[in-house]
Amino acid sequence: MTRRGVILYGPPASGKDTVTGALSTADPVFALFSRVKIGPGRTAGYRMGTPKLLAELRATAGAVVYENSRYDSTYVTDRPGLDAAVAAGVPVMHLGQIDGVRTVLDGYPADWLTVLLWCPRESTAERSAGRGDTDTAARLAAWDATQADLEANAGFRFDLVVRTDAASPEQAAERIRQALAERGQRLLMLDFDDTLIDRLGAVTAWISGYCAAHGVGPDVERRILGAMRIRADLRTFEGLCAKLPLPESADQLWARYNAEFPATVRPFPGVPDALETVRTGGWQVVVVTNGGGEIQRAKLKASGIDGLVDGVCISEEASARKPDPAIFETAAASVGSSLARGGWMVGDNPALDVIGGRAAGLRTVWVSHGRPWPGGAEPDYVALDVLDALDHVRGAQ
């Protein structure tokens, strides 16, 4: 399930409270996320906690998503509170530091819309005086600190910027709702073999087991691996049997491979959790793989990947192979999307995944496994492994 939320960042009196109110009025699904506050003073808008609760949250792994202290109080954005808020609707979180925004984006995967509410210093002065604040000087100091924070984090891009001196709270709320609606779900296509699963490791082990059981020597074993390194089908075995003294026919080998190999494949470490993180962040994930329907589906099932993605597109079933753009279009359509809406392709094969993905209009990540890029039009990002690739895609604007 996609978890969605809105993060409002801005100087004092930029309208975070009024815009949140306007959002809730327009659609009650939006609700202010109240942080846990431990300390004296204002209680409205907070869940008040005790030092004992703070100690308990800190002692529970992952329970504190973000914590900061100001004056005599400690404020905690807590995982249990966020879990309840995203289950109930779309939480609207107010944050005063970009460091805090980054911490929440990294620490609590969800489809967060980050919004900068901005107003000039004079607006903060006027509004603060107008609402009878007794600490306008402190508010202006906080305005200065916000501007300094933005300058210090010039590389951070908000999804939306609203000038609240030029837009009413209702207009600001409408632009936020529109941005969320337009965003829809983002599309991520992933290669399967040697991107999500360690096919090469499994194939090497399978060949080694076969050769040991049938008395096949190391030279022949090496040549079998050479032929099966990237792909294996009936023709691969026919080619091997024509050249090498193997104890079984090509048909027998192909049947054996189909029967034995799929159950041996495993995802690379960390892949199941990383896929879940990407999907809860609002991405639709589709596997795009060249190969036979039967064997690829058996591998998808055995590795558990089939239950962790939104769709699967296999070349034999799609009647198109990577790098043909047609297979990417079919993959996008399989989850109700289209290439016109853009997306990402991640894979380990330069020609099929990167060049093919680019030709289909997708942004690309090459999973290098430490190899140098072979040349030609480069991917948008070179990742060491698929976890690095997924991190990059999640963080890209």
CA distances from 271 to 148, 194, 205 (A): 39, 12, 21
Binding span for Mg ion by CB under 5 A among 34-42, 146-154, 166-174, 347-355? 347-355
Q: Which amino acid is at 267?
A: P
Q: Which is nearer to Mg ion, 14 or 290 (CB)?
A: 290
Q: Which is nearer to Mg ion, 18 or 349 (CB)?
A: 349
Q: What angle do CA 356, 234, 332 make, to 5 degrees?
A: 30
Q: Which residues pair with 111 in a beta bridge?
A: 4
Q: Is the dihedral of CA 77, 80, 83, 87 positive or negative?
A: negative
> CB-based burial of residue 206 (10 Å sphere; 0-12 exposed, 13-18 middle, 19+ buried)?
buried
- Smallest distance from the beta carbon of 1 to Mg ion, in angstroms? 29
Interaction of residue 198 with Mg ion, rule CB under 5 A: no
Q: What are phi and psi of 202, to 5 degrees?
A: -70, -40
Q: Which is nearer to Mg ion, 193 or 324 (CB)?
A: 193
Exactly one of 67, 191, 198, 324 binds Mg ion (CB under 5 A); which one? Answer: 191
Q: Is the dihedral of CA 105, 304, 382, 372 positive or negative?
A: positive
Q: What are phi and psi of 263, to 5 degrees?
A: -70, -15
Phi-psi region for residue 270, left (φ > 0), alpha (ψ -120 to 50) or beta? left
Q: Which is nearer to Mg ion, 109 or 379 (CB)?
A: 379
- Smallest distance from the beta carbon of 193 to Mg ion, in angstroms? 4
Closest CA to 312 of 333, 338, 283: 333
- Smallest distance from the beta carbon of 294 to Mg ion, in angstroms? 18
Q: Could you give the count of Cα atoms lying within 13 Å of 212 in the half-sphere of its Cβ?
A: 6
Interaction of residue 194 with Mg ion, rule CB under 5 A: yes
Binding span for Mg ion by CB under 5 A among 70-78, 154-162, 345-353, 386-394? 345-353
Q: Which is nearer to Mg ion, 174 or 385 (CB)?
A: 385
**Which pair of tokens denotes residue 232?**
């294996």
- For Mg ion (CB under 5 A), the number of binding residues is 5
Q: Which is nearer to Mg ion, 311 or 356 (CB)?
A: 356
- Smallest distance from the beta carbon of 196 to Mg ion, in angstroms? 9
- Smallest distance from the beta carbon of 291 to Mg ion, in angstroms? 10
Binding span for Mg ion by CB under 5 A among 189-197, 249-257, 294-302, 329-337? 189-197
Q: Binding pattern to Mg ion, positions 305-344, x when CB under 5 A?
A: ----------------------------------------
Q: Which is nearer to Mg ion, 226 or 395 (CB)?
A: 226
Q: Which is nearer to Mg ion, 133 or 317 (CB)?
A: 317
**Which pair of tokens denotes residue 336?**
């109700």
Contact between residue 8 and residue 114 where contact means Cβ atoms under 8 Å apart: no
Q: Which is nearer to Mg ion, 67 or 198 (CB)?
A: 198
Q: Which is nearer to Mg ion, 146 or 349 (CB)?
A: 349
Write the CB contacts of 114 (distance below 8 Å, at least 6 apart in sequence): 7, 9, 101, 105, 158, 159, 160
- The Cα–Cα gap between 89 and 10 comes to 23
- Smallest distance from the beta carbon of 192 to Mg ion, in angstroms? 7
Interaction of residue 348 with Mg ion, rule CB under 5 A: yes
Binding span for Mg ion by CB under 5 A among 54-62, 123-131, 186-194, 301-309? 186-194
Binding span for Mg ion by CB under 5 A among 116-124, 187-195, 252-260, 299-307? 187-195
- Smallest distance from the beta carbon of 347 to Mg ion, in angstroms? 5
Contact between residue 200 and residue 255 where contact means Cβ atoms under 8 Å apart: no
Contacting residues toward Mg ion, per CB under 5 A: 191, 193-194, 348-349
